[in-house]
Amino acid sequence: MNNPLLTPFDTAPFSKIEDAHFLPAIQQLIKETKAEIDSIATQDDAPTFENTVEALERTGEQLNRVTAIFFNLNSAETNDTIQAIAQEVSPLLSDFKNDLLLNEALFERVKHVYDQRESLTLSPEQSTLLEKQYKGFSRNGANLSEAKKEKLRKIDSDLSRLKLNFGENILKETNIFELHITDEAQLEGLPEGAMEAAAQTAAEKDKKGWVFTLDYPSYIPFMKYAANRKLRKKMAIAFGAKGFHGDALDNKQNVLRIAELRHQRAKLLGYRNHAHFVLEERMAETPQKVQSFLTEFLRKAKPAAEKEFTELQDYAKELDGIETLQKWDGAYYAEKLKQERFDLDDEKLKPYFELKNVINGVFTVAEKLFGLSFEETNTIDVYHSDVKTYKVTDTEGELVALFYADFHPRPGKRGGAWMTSYKSQQIKDGINERPHVSIVCNFTKPTASKPSLLTFNEVTTLFHEFGHALHGMLANTTYSGLSGTNVYWDFVELPSQILENWCYERETLALFATHYKTGEIIPMEYVEKIKESATFHEGMQTLRQLSFGMLDMAWHGNDPSKITDVKAFEKGAFALTKLYPDVPENCMSTSFAHIFQGGYSAGYYSYKWAEVLDADAFDYFKQEGIFNNTVADKFKEFVLSKGGTQDPMDLYVKFRGRKPDPDALLRRAGLIPA
């Protein structure tokens, strides 16, 4: 078989790839990478940084590239075949990783270099790479007995399969559900755009009327605007019950087993629990610090949240006689109250946020801050016709990166938004190899009569993911393993979250927020209202984020072996943050993909942690001017370009001149006086 994944390529050769290419390619590349590793481990020369640590870092480049392509396709354009291949590939990769990390001869060589590190003349980046490699071995079983190593292999193999099953079940649940409406009276309150999109979905499914799904661009407008409370309840319960139906797609056992295996793994490696293992390599350092951080924010946010909730409940009762505010009422009445208070809603704003203009806007922000230019090109291979591609250049016209963007939901694509990389930046043989970076979102699709018009929340999501992309694009490190977003997990959200701040600034909105029909710039009164409404229900939003972080720590900061009832355990974890009555049919854990499928286990707190960093960092921009080049250059030099080459707090202090001030976030959120 002429396999395009086994021949050298620059850009991912999507149009040449068939599903059948992946398994043999990955099997072959694992074999080749093992041979590379064996040649390092068994060489006769004494271990040096160059012949061991650096050589090991350079292994497996083609394997890394092929697996990056495969797993993004499994998220963004999957099918039954790809999912079946993933079930085969994941254990292979898990075994390969363990073969590497449990290779005694290789570890001895790395340890030899590590033990002599004080006498070596290493750059800060080389020192970081050496420490990361040594810890990679020591934290993942290199010092275990053979029997325990075998146990670790089994745990890792099982975990890789369980996480895949978890994600596949959620995607299938999302795709199965639809709310099919044929009576237009049941659509009362819904904006024209939401109705048109639902009619288009129905037509695509060969149905009359309107079809609403659990994809965010369909689900969220329904929950915000649909006057029919029974239908809102039906949608909300369906959304919250993913993986919780007691059927073939049920995730309860997956959740229990994943938590249990992670705990067993941590204990095997000498840690008290999974959170202790994870947080050793985070800015937060310990579960105690995370709990203290979450508890302190809870103390400050809860009074505001309870006050906001009481106000919302009173409003719903006064308006519609709602005696008990339920979860399916929250977004609906909050939107009404917000409109009443600020005379502002998404439907007023959406005409000013045409997707192509918002894209140009985020490009302009990147140009003004970092001197980047973006040119759309049709010469780069893509995996779906929705995907747009761009060449990114600097002020000298030199290539900085290739950028892929995939914006709209479809059946083979999981929900949410994420950034990924098809080729990492590195400096090799004197050549600075530039990265290929992608963002994937699920934004409102164009309809027959309208282009893709974004809600303001979708605008901030685009800026958020683009911030991650900039972290990848502007990487400038020697080693790919320390490049771009390869940083501590609770530092990775700083570049993404700080960029969201520009969305609220008059100076930024004037660059791109123009009416899709008239070309009129967004009225300044709307801009003021956006800023005024930015902290609307901030207490409740903060409590919601804290509840997710606390649920994560409950699963991973304790021994989960005695947990038998996922729902009951979850209710206990949510007790301190509870506002709405519990919905018996719903369970968050069974669809909490961030912690049970993605990489956020014992790390969900990092969103709030990074908000502290981004609020404090943006304060600096505000003081000097949001497009101040001196501040932007420092952010580029010490945050975006350095990747994981130095301790993140050291990098932050170099940028800011001091450690972050937690009160910056509380002031921005309106939880303490400005």
* Rounded Cα–Cα distance for residues 648 and 610 (Å): 12
User: φ and ψ at 373, to 5 degrees?
Assistant: -125, 145
* DSSP label at residue 637: I
Residues 671, 301 contacting (CB under 8 angstroms): yes
Catalytic residue check, 465: yes
**Longest pairwise C-alpha distance within the chain:** 82
* DSSP label at residue 412: T
* Rounded Cα–Cα distance for residues 209 and 399 (Å): 49
User: φ and ψ at 383, to 5 degrees?
Assistant: -95, -10
Give the DSSP H or E segment for 432: strand 431-433
Catalytic residue, from 465, 493, 500, 611: name it. Answer: 465
Reading across the β-sheet that carries 418-423, which strands appear in turn? 373-376, 388-393, 399-406, 436-440, 418-423
CA 93, 406, 548: angle at the middle one, nearest 5?
65
DSSP-assigned states of every residue in 125-168: HHHHHHHHHHHHHHTTTTTS-HHHHHHHHHHHHHHHHHHHHHHH
* Rounded Cα–Cα distance for residues 539 and 670 (Å): 9
* Rounded Cα–Cα distance for residues 143 and 101 (Å): 10
At 179 the three-state DSSP class reads strand
3-state helix, strand, coil in the chain (%, to 5): 60, 5, 35
Encoded amino acid at 623, one letter: Q
How many alpha carbons lie under 13 Å from residue 252 in its C-beta half-sphere?
17
Which of 500, 473, 477 lies closest to 607, judged by CA? 500
Active centre residues (catalytic): 465
